[in-house]
Amino acid sequence: MADLKIPVTTKDHLQGNENAPVIVVEYGDYECPHCGHAYPIVKQLQKHFGQQIGFVFRNFPLAELHPYAESAAEAAEFAAANDRFWEMHDSIYENQEVLSESLLLELAETLGLSAPALRESLNDSEFAPRVREDFLGGVRSGVNGTPTFYINGHRHDGPFEFESLAAAIDAQL
Partner 1 sequence: MSQILQPGIQAPDFCLHVTPDQKLSLSELRGTPVILTFYPADWSPVCGDQMALYNEILSEFRKHGAELLGISVDGAWCHEAFAKDRHLHFPLLSDFEPKGEVAKQYGAYRSADGCCERALFVIDKRGVIFWSYCSPVAVNPGADGILQALEEMQK
**CB 16 → partner 1: shortest distance, Å?**
25
Q: Does 142 contact partner 1 by CB under 8 A?
A: yes
Q: Which of 11, 43, 48, 140 binds partner 1 (CB under 8 A)?
A: 140
Q: Does 136 contact partner 1 by CB under 8 A?
A: yes
Choose one: 13-21, 82-90, 102-110, 132-140; the region binding partner 1 (CB under 8 A): 132-140
Strands 154-155 and 148-151, by their bridges, are: antiparallel
**89: nearest Cα among 120, 59, 113, 114:** 59
- Coil vs helix vs strand at 128: helix
Q: Does 139 contact partner 1 by CB under 8 A?
A: yes
List helix spans (H) across 4-127.
33-49, 69-81, 85-94, 101-110, 115-123
**CB 70 → partner 1: shortest distance, Å?**
10
Q: Does 65 contact partner 1 by CB under 8 A?
A: yes
Q: Are 148 and 155 in contact (CB under 8 A)?
A: yes
Q: Does 96 contact partner 1 by CB under 8 A?
A: no
**46: nearest Cα among 166, 126, 154, 172:** 166
Q: Which residues bind partner 1 (CB under 8 A)?
A: 2, 5, 29, 32-35, 62-65, 135-136, 139-146, 157
